[in-house]
Structure 1
Amino acid sequence: MRLGWFGSFGVHVLIAAATMIAWPRGEEDLPPAGAVVPIDIIDTISSVTNVSAIAPQLSEDQADENVTPEGAPQTTAPPVPEAPEPIPDPRQKMKSKEKERQPTSLEDFQGAIDRWKEKGADDPGNPDAPTGPRPRERIGAGNELTSSEPDAIASAIDRRWQNFSDFPNPERYWVTIRIQINANGTLARAPQVLRTSLPLSDPYMKVGVERSLRAILSAEPLPVDPARTSRATFTMNFYLRD
């Protein structure tokens, strides 16, 4: 009986040993333990923290607009240069002066003559101006001009003179006017009518005198020699050239 008991005990020991060897160990499935960090628990929270604010949530459309494609060049608009101040054109300035100076009607022309008369000048529209044969030269009496000044003065006045081509028998009309100019080319006194081909009672003759005076006034200042230092007096003859 003892022999059976010992045999049964040995069988149970072998079964228990085999079970312990074959049974999987649960500890191998557990993750390794990490480092232990001590934690202090506080009762109050400070009003000032170093935690940055959470960025606001953007919608999908806003997020797409703020996304910059990778590799896209970052370009900045070049600064717009300031426009330089325009330099006034002296030719435009001279043209504006000529427009201001040139009478546009007989009333304006008469106003220019009246201003000359206020300065004590003689009345250029002398109804008693003598008549006579037509002179040959455009610039007549006056030996105070240099050799280059007569042509320059006549050319400047001719460009502003409305000739007598629209008159009946225009060859019958001519006017001689005395002009006195300062050293800078401005008129020293009102132009004075010396001679006319017909009396000023003739309506066309009167218009011819007005046109000639208007041309002189609108051409001021006249082109004189830059070296001039004194006044010059000469006559200007207006007629339709052959």
Structure 2
Amino acid sequence: MRNWETETGRYINRIENVSELLDKVSEPPVHIPKGPLTNQPTELQSYVHRAVHFLQLGSWIRARETTSAILQLWEHGNISAAAPLVRLVYEIWAVTNFLVIKLEKYQANKNIETLAKVVNKVFEGAKIEILMPWGSPATEAPVHVLDAFRELSNSHSHAMNKYEYLCESSHPNYPRYIELWLLGKEGDNWTNDKVFNRGHELLESTTSALEEAVTGLNISIEKGFELCGEYYKLNA
């Protein structure tokens, strides 16, 4: 008999594979010191440190934690709560890609002011008063997520449409919520043929978006670490 466990369970292995993929990301280049620093870094090196911290913590580890949460919610039948987190992973990919594109452009233009602007936005961008770990407030406006998706759309033309699709699962709109609720443990309506067909369409789209985001994110992080390593050596 069809129920939420038999039908949503089809996707668990794919989510587990995505989670494992995030465990395979390389560490930052070993020649970039973690701190505390014994020597004063150059201006470029200081931005490299910020970029690396974002790539490792704000991107890689955050995506790993979020994907783990998606898996736990999914396994417990809380599909409507898991879906918004897929959007978050997609956003992390977009912003990470945005940063890495700017790091790549620095190779050609050597415009440190432009690089600094983007690095600072991802490292300490906030819309309200947020304290950084050392106690001082974040002072930058964040990268606008739509700017990040416009950049991502240059290489993934469907990215903006996919993001808007995922947004419906995150907004307090009843129609998409009830679609997802009927697929989970509490609303379980998989014996309904229309719910069955529509449900697998939604779960496939959501799961494939997560797979795409994590695959792209891994590529961006690895490239970002590589560029940061090169720039740090240049200023050693």
Higher Rg of the two aligned structures: 1
More helix by share: 2
More strand by share: 1
Q: TM-score band (shorter)?
A: under 0.3
TM-score normalised over the length of structure 2: 0.25
TM-score normalised over the length of structure 1: 0.25
